A and B are shown apart, each in its own frame.
Chain A
Amino acid sequence: MTTFLTTPREWPAILTGRVAALAADPSDLDTATRAGAFEGLRRAVRDLGRTGTIATVAASGLRGRGGAGFPTGEKWRAAATRPATERYVVANGYGADPAVRTDATLLATDPWGVVEGLAIAAFAVGATEAIIAVRADDAALVTLLEGAVLAAEEAGFLGDDVLGSGSRISMTVRPVQGAYMLGEETVLLKALAGRRGQPEQRPPYPAERGLFEKPTVVNNVQTLAAVPWIVREGGPAYAAIGAKASPGTILVQLRGPEGGGIAEVPLGTPLRELVRLTGGLGTRSLKALLVGGPTGGLLPADLIDTPYEYDALREVGAHVGSGSIVVADDRACVVDLARLLTKFSADEACGKTIPCRIGLRRLYEIGDRVATGRPKPTDMALMADLAHDVAASGLCEHERLATLPFTSGMRYFRSELDDHLLRSTCPAGVCHPIAVGAAATPGPG
């Protein structure tokens, strides 16, 4: 079982607060309720009511942890106020980034936070059907969650009469598999409806027209796990944690030369401290930070004081994305790294829009030409043009973000790209058959 990294004592543990108590048996409902589980649901149902619950979540300033950072209260309100005969809530626990285990770890160490958060969401928006979507390959997790849902139902937290309020919430666990894009909300809803997993144009957002054309709230599991705490302690208490425009905590997957792991960190923490959590750089020097997973941006060492928070990261050309932060030291080559990430994004593109399907592949091919010493003279201009066009014609977020490795590479590591292009050298000595180091092409003089 993955453990969490030790973080400074003063950092709040909102998502991982019950993990120690549940360590012996995460599936034990009694231990969980003794540690405060379902108190939030009780308060929502008995004291706050539907609109009060939504107002509390809105006041907390909670933003979606699925990557885009959309205000959760607003999303719930949109779904709740839309006239409909049926509404759905979906917990997105797919965890698309292959190198990130945060959501799965959260579900495995404390499934109750997500079950309770999803129940509160269902109650608040007036949904009777709640779905937890997880990966089919983690059979143990599917079993754990199914057990948790059953136990919560028997205890009266779910089912036909939630805590004696007369509301009905029926929760199911749905394993899905077979594509990276399943993490994207409209794709996930397509999979749940048995359809081809290609994104839909938004708007209309799922909150207006989602699963089976009904208003649907899709939230990341971390977003939902924060909700019980917020309902219990109140919106302002949560808003006081972390960054002003992005309050609260988030689970990050850290990776550096000296180690890494998962940690719960307040949003707005400078990247420098996150690098420190991985164990630092040892004797090596920092080259770049890959922030946001396969579609993340490559940030140079002098941006290490950027706060880890939605808006600040977007501004510098990265994003929260999957919550992954990878430290690249002097052994890594930016071209090689961006090429690899772009290839992954191109391979995983669903193929619905042509600039995404073909543009990303061409972007990878240009990167590949540059890395292997066969660039065409116009390649840098072509790459910039193409990246712009792909991002501008995006149907889904994947397409808009997948160009970030190369665009941030061109923005911050231009000299390294030029070394490849004009001098056929790879300063890091990674790319072949380009000559290693400066001793490559004989100069004119």
Chain B
Amino acid sequence: MFGGEKVVGIVSAQRAQFETPLHFKSGAVLPRYELVYETYGTLNADQSNAILICHALSGHHHVAGHYADDAKNIGWWDNMVGAGKPIDTNKFFVIGLNNLGGCHGSTGPSSINPETGKPYGSHFPVITVEDWVNAQARLADLLGIQQFAAIIGGSLGGMQALQWSLAYPERVRHVLAIASAPRLTAQNIAFNDVARNAILTDPDFHAGDYYTHGVVPTRGLRLARMLGHITYLSDDAMAHKFGRELRAAEFNYSFDVEFEVESYLRYQGDKFAAYFDANTYLLMTKALDYFDPAQAFAGNMNQAFAAAKADYLVISFTTDWRFSPERSREIVRPLLHNRRNVSYAEITSAHGHDSFLMPDPHYFSVVQAYLNNVYRECAA
């Protein structure tokens, strides 16, 4: 590979086994578990250039590059992470992992519970952002990383990055929280609840133990994703992409798919339901709902961030209404109160919540400028 080439190239996933029990916030205990992860770039001699990428609801460990046997399977943040890209793998050792409870290889509801020989299903503990971060910290231990140069995440991933700086203030120098929130609003929880209800009321759900029934609650998962998808796009983006376009020349006065937007949503729903696990979807949305660092401080976010020692870059997008700029400002305010180094950029973008995954020159230049300085510290 040439230095100027803006790709990660061929990557492969790795597995880490953990035999020490993990105690969940809910009180549940997982005696042993596996995390699947990928790394890009090289860890430097003093282990000071590591960056952890925390994924959002439907993300996973495959952040960048592609697999040798599957060239089309490109990482979900390949436009951001790579050689010469804003998260530059020539400079940083970048780690992507699939969170616990996921459905891309890490131990989750669809994994076999060694105690029963059956999938965990409904017995998989309800997980929180705090639990994920504790599990991630063990992966960091395993990889010999005492302190991350930066922890970066969008949306639910941003919550994990924030949590790192609260739970392990000595272990992270910079947090990049993108299109995120310190806690969800009632409206956001409401969307999650509708999505969960679609799954929970699917006759194929079987209280979460559908694996042993040989069925999948596809209808519920599909509806959940369709709803989610609407909230990830902006009104303008949908109008621009579909308008009122019809698939046929005229109305046929039926409940079939007629508008292009219906066709698109159903396609997205079907595609998602074909590979994603419904129990994981439930767990991820619950983790979103539960996250609230201020809960332990009688709702006082300023006190919640008093423990933080990191520097922060907070980014939001103008048309994101699921994690609106105002939510990002709710992250900025307690940081200002606690006199943390913080910068906040509000990116003008048409793509709603999905903007954080889109290549935008200004967005990328802010991230690149910030990480260049982070790298200068590593090299110093």
Chains A and B come from one and the same complex:
no
